[in-house]
Amino acid sequence: MRNRQVAEGWITDFLASETKAGRRVLAGFDFAFGYPKGFGKALTGTGDPFAIWDWFEERVQDDPKSNNRFDLAGEINAAFAGIGPFWGNGLQRDIPHLPRKGLDREAHGMTEKRAAEACTKGAFPVWQLSGAGAVGSQVIMGLPMLARLRRSFGEKITIWPFEPLTTPIALVEIWPSLIAKSIAATQPAGQIKDAHQVQVMAETLSALPAKDLTLLLDVPANEEGWILGLGHEDLLMQSALSASLPPPLKNDCFAMPQGANWTPVDDALEHLRKELSSVVATQEILIKDAAGRILAANVQAARSHPPAPNAAVDGYGFAGPAPEGINRMPLVDGRAAAGAPFAGTVPAGHAIRILTGANLPQGVDTVVLQEDVSVTATQVSFHGPIKQGSNARKAGEDMEAGQIILKAGRKLTPADLGTLAATGVGAVRVYDQLRVGILSTGDELREPGDDASDGQIFDANRPMLAALVAQWGYSVVDLGRAPDNRDRLRTILNKAAERCDVILSSGGASAGDEDHMSALLKDTGSFALWRIAMKPGRPLAMGQWQGKPVFGLPGNPVAAMVCALVFAAPALRVMAGGDWRNPTRYMVPAAFTKSKKEGRREYLRARIKDGMAEVFPSEGSGRVSGLSWATGVVELDDPAQKVAPGDPVAFLPFHSFDA
């Protein structure tokens, strides 16, 4: 919201519509509701905290471009002995009685902090009006708004802790920093810190069991006000964490029974499906921001679609059916259009002009297409028969109010936003965007565009995997390149664990001398080396670093890409809160010949030409360009087989791996 005026309008409307709907609201405001003891008496002559609210409300002038808060503070100071208590003139011009520095104050007689601030670390006193972290101006500018809310909601509103909370609307003072420490790690990439704190605070309070909320609210009435939750930080932080975070994955979630044989692809997938679950918190967002996000709860239609019977075409409405032969009907005066319904009743045997989307007037259940009639000023005629209900849509024929239209776990498509909007759903609960760290490992790697010797290669995996992950709708955290050095890799992983939910690395995943990813994960006790019966392959190094799942993909770009599609796509989707997905397989005739041996699955870079699947001429796994040539892969199942041109094979488009 651009400014306080807009915000105040929104809050007022919101409180009004919530109370009208019969719901109760606990609204938290992040500024002090009162001043240190004695200030009210000095300013207004009474100890009533609301007298301060009204005092400011009468005098504060506030518009989006300017306000009089510094002058007002100067005026208040003038009425006090000594210098102060307000300070922090943030303007160029000097203001009488308003010092620029806190230390310039003296003998004003006021306590520096409220009791509430005195027992917190990092809370600023209400006297300081400017400078980083200052809150004094927010109080002066905020109280008049609270005074107006109080006046306009009268009997329906009470203010904590000044009054017992007995009304549908309760205003409380909150301080989102109370839970800042416990939720810093759950902040979604790119989200503003305050927004995250406020969101989690709101969700925490609303999820709090009644007995805990009662405990938080149990504060004696006093003129200074109090911060909700102060003194109960542990309880609050605990609930903030559990309200916002799902249970962690088991440390051994990647442990697979290790036989002498290589693991079939399907067994590995089944293992991921069984062991993985969502690792992210949830939030409510507007549907306009929800494309690609994953629903955290089932969504019901807010109302039926269409809400009332209406016309599917432009034409003439009447009570059907119309018998065979020529029908002539006198026209009713007026018309029915979308958004402009016809209020009267259409008598039997009459017709009315009606346009697409218009609600059917009383007496109308059938519409004849305007192309099929001849019409005069007073009469319409057309050939029957026309069945009752023709060209008319029934109320709720698309969706019924209350019906579940989209299920939790669904990744929202553009069409879904249309469906949600059509039934009046404006906001949905979704999972926070999964933060996926992308890391390349290897001493030989250089950044594309930089100089490189013959012994060095350019890092192809990082941009490729990052783009893939972004395409799946997750937020990419670029972890850069790690050299083949265990300590450096450890440091990188430590940092990554703080800001990622999952880490996708490539290279160093086998069991060789320079395979440091495997070596480090081994020390955590969560490591599993997955030898999967597939081509292109090489082992996957699976494990957790400080509780964050790590997928160690092969270094070879073709193998890295195919393993990312086959394993990371479904795994990330589940960890992001989504449902398990198998890629769509299209059976198409092969345009190639191939004979493969038994015991492993093969993925061939492929594309469709003239309705047939052709494959990249070389199966060499170093041929990155083949990935660009292809639009998907042909999947050849585990048993031995000979494929001849025309034989049906499974084609899996790249985009179907997370569709």
- State the residues that interact with Mg ion by CB under 5 A: 442, 507-508, 555
Closest CA to 216 of 239, 232, 234: 232
Taking the complex as a whole, how short is the minimal distance between the CB of residue 517 and Mg ion, in angstroms?
9
Whichever of 187 and 510 has its CB closer to ligand AMP, that residue is: 510
What secondary structure does DSSP assign to 349-399, as a single string? T-EEEE-TTPBPPBT--EEEEGGGEEE-SSEEEEEEEE-TTTTEEPTTSSB
Residue nearest to ligand AMP (CB): 555
Task: Identify what 461 binds: ligand AMP, Mg ion, none; CB under 5 to 8 Å per kind.
Answer: ligand AMP
| Cα angle value 154/157/158 (rounded, 5°) | 120
Taking the complex as a whole, how short is the minimal distance between the CB of residue 558 and ligand AMP, in angstroms?
9
19-37 burial code (b ≥16 CB/10 A, e <16): beeeeebbbbbbbbbbbbe
Task: Identify what 365 binds: ligand AMP, Mg ion, none; CB under 5 to 8 Å per kind.
Answer: none
DSSP designation for 222? -
Taking the complex as a whole, how short is the minimal distance between the CB of residue 397 and ligand AMP, in angstroms?
54
Whichever of 244 and 510 has its CB closer to ligand AMP, that residue is: 510
Residue nearest to Mg ion (CB): 442
Taking the complex as a whole, how short is the minimal distance between the CB of residue 264 and ligand AMP, in angstroms?
22
Whichever of 228 and 534 has its CB closer to ligand AMP, that residue is: 534
Omega cis (within 30) before 125: no
Rounded to the nearest 10 degrees, what angle do helices 516-524 and 486-499 cross at? 60
Closest CA to 509 of 487, 533, 535, 482: 482
| Cα angle value 516/474/250 (rounded, 5°) | 55
Taking the complex as a whole, how short is the minimal distance between the CB of residue 553 and ligand AMP, in angstroms?
9
Taking the complex as a whole, how short is the minimal distance between the CB of residue 569 and Mg ion, in angstroms?
23
Whichever of 337 and 457 has its CB closer to ligand AMP, that residue is: 457
- From CA 181, how far away is CA 159, in angstroms rounded? 28
Taking the complex as a whole, how short is the minimal distance between the CB of residue 584 and ligand AMP, in angstroms?
29
Whichever of 327 and 510 has its CB closer to ligand AMP, that residue is: 510
- From CA 578, how far away is CA 415, in angstroms rounded? 18
Taking the complex as a whole, how short is the minimal distance between the CB of residue 522 and ligand AMP, in angstroms?
16
Task: Identify what 445 binds: ligand AMP, Mg ion, none; CB under 5 to 8 Å per kind.
Answer: ligand AMP
Whichever of 182 and 556 has its CB closer to Mg ion, that residue is: 556
Task: Identify what 225 binds: ligand AMP, Mg ion, none; CB under 5 to 8 Å per kind.
Answer: none
Whichever of 73 and 482 has its CB closer to Mg ion, that residue is: 482
- From CA 651, how far away is CA 648, in angstroms rounded? 9
Taking the complex as a whole, how short is the minimal distance between the CB of residue 525 and ligand AMP, in angstroms?
23
Task: Identify what 650 binds: ligand AMP, Mg ion, none; CB under 5 to 8 Å per kind.
Answer: none
Whichever of 423 and 556 has its CB closer to ligand AMP, that residue is: 556
Residues within the interface to ligand AMP (CB under 6 A): 440, 442, 444-445, 457, 459-462, 506-510, 554-557
- From CA 310, how far away is CA 641, in angstroms rounded? 58
Whichever of 49 and 555 has its CB closer to ligand AMP, that residue is: 555
What's the half-sphere exposure (Cβ side, CA atoms, 13 Å) at 187? Answer: 19
Residue type, 570: P
Contacts of 550 (CB under 8 A, 6+ apart): 493, 502, 503, 505, 517, 521, 541, 542, 543, 544
Task: Identify what 556 binds: Mg ion, ligand AMP, none; CB under 5 to 8 Å per kind.
Answer: ligand AMP
Task: Identify what 237 binds: Mg ion, ligand AMP, none; CB under 5 to 8 Å per kind.
Answer: none
Token pair recorded at residue 510: 């086998």
DSSP designation for 566? I
Helix (H) / strand (E) containing 412: none
